[in-house]
Amino acid sequence: MKNVVVVGSQWGDEGKGKIVDWLSSEADVVIRFQGGHNAGHTLVIDGKIYKLRLLPSGIVRKNKISIIGNGVVVDPWALIDEIEEIKKKGVEISEQNLFLSESATLILPIHSELDALREDNAKNPKIGTTRRGIGPAYEDKVGRRSIRVIDLLSEKNLDSRLKILLDHHNSLRKGMGKDKYDKNKLKEDLLKIAPKILKYSKPIWKKIEEFKKSNKKILFEGAQGILLDVDHGTYPFVTSSNTVASSAATGTGCGVDTINYILGITKAYTTRVGEGPFPTELKNQIGEELGQRGKEFGTVTSRKRRCGWFDGVLVKQTIKTSGINGIALTKLDVLDEFDEIKVCIAYDLNGKQIDYLPASSEQQFEVKPIYKTFKGWKTSTSGVKNFNDLPKNAQNYISFIEEFVEAKVSSVSTSPERKDTILIEDPFKA
């Protein structure tokens, strides 16, 4: 059996929740390794809807271990609220089935405040953040001044760490004309929530080693998508962490040899939330139809997603940068009623044809898609569970994508329901 990493191969919102839930039925351990409560997964199980933000998707299944790794930035109040919310739906959560890395960085109220101040500053270009403090928390982590889960263990240590943190933030706030942040109030709030958080705290790297030795199947669950990676995405319109598959190792404390298969969740068309370049965006009736049929609204923010045709250039690029072995193609049924469907196969950059997305943000806005057009199938694919039962034009569309992006299509999703999945290759056994 293999350990599997699941990542989004586009800008996020590819339908990872359903696929991760489907895979978690096979896995023993499910681990989140980056991001924060800015990314959500929606699971539909037996008609019941679960909206998860920080909790790994395995939490809704019995006899599974769920882990929040050191690469995740954690708002402790948001985490406790989410735990209580999911418990009310009949899910058992305890320190026996939920582990939190003692090295994880905490998101504090000062981070979300700074996030909003920057986003609302008319002098700054909007990035389109969720204003949940993710970026500022990662900044403090890299700046070696963050508060980590383990810092809640000692009041003396916490006081010292908060002084270092607020020396930095209060200088920023002064420059923005804002009052100093009250250290004592923040410390009091953190000490109050500390027991609720610390009971889940573990040395995650050590637990993973134990799981490996006992041949447990591990599923690493990414948030957002590779095109939002801080190094490999559409910078600066990106998140503040590495969303590529290799961060599953650094975000949990295991060796890269722990990873055996990388599955890229890939929507049959393209969407993105927030600002930034989007070469195949459709600002027309077709784009509206994609959004309506695909119910394209964010799980966490409810923001309307921008929609466009499948961008094969971008997906091929993310497959290379993340080492994706196979893709899970989702939301195929959303395309059922179109007369024709397009796939971007190259870009035109000021009269020159190129086969990749340039690193320059300016050029990313300038590229124009070059399309290959396919006939639609005008037949419902909803609920189809066998590849050969798909309309021939749908089969042709999938086969072209597989060949163009140079990665096997391992499954095809034909509705939000977990059972409506065409399995071609099991990542745990491939």
From the candidates 13, 229, 311, 333, give the one annotated as an active-site residue. Answer: 13
What does each C-alpha distance from 132 to 35, 123, 180, 335 come to in angstroms?
A: 11, 21, 20, 33
Nearest to 201 by CA among 245, 152, 241: 152
Segment 294-304, tens digit of pLDDT: 999 866 666 78
Integer Cα distance of 315 and 280 in angstroms: 12
Q: How high is the pLDDT of residue 137?
A: 96
From the candidates 41, 111, 169, 232, give the one annotated as an active-site residue. Answer: 41
Q: How high is the pLDDT of residue 258?
A: 95
- pTM, to two decimals: 0.92
3-state class of 345 per DSSP?
A: strand
Q: How high is the pLDDT of residue 165?
A: 97
Q: How high is the pLDDT of residue 134?
A: 92
Integer Cα distance of 83 and 65 in angstroms: 15
DSSP class per residue in 201-263: EE-HHHHHHHHHHTT--EEEE--S-GGG-TTTSSTTSS-SS--STTHHHHTTT--GGG--EEE
Q: How high is the pLDDT of residue 127?
A: 63
Residue in the block written with tokens 């070059």:
370
Contact (CB, 8 A) for 310 and 268: yes
What residue ranges of the chain have pLDDT lower than 70? 1, 39, 122-129, 298-302
Q: What are phi and psi of 136, to 5 degrees?
A: -60, -35
41 catalytic, yes or no?
Answer: yes
13 catalytic, yes or no?
Answer: yes
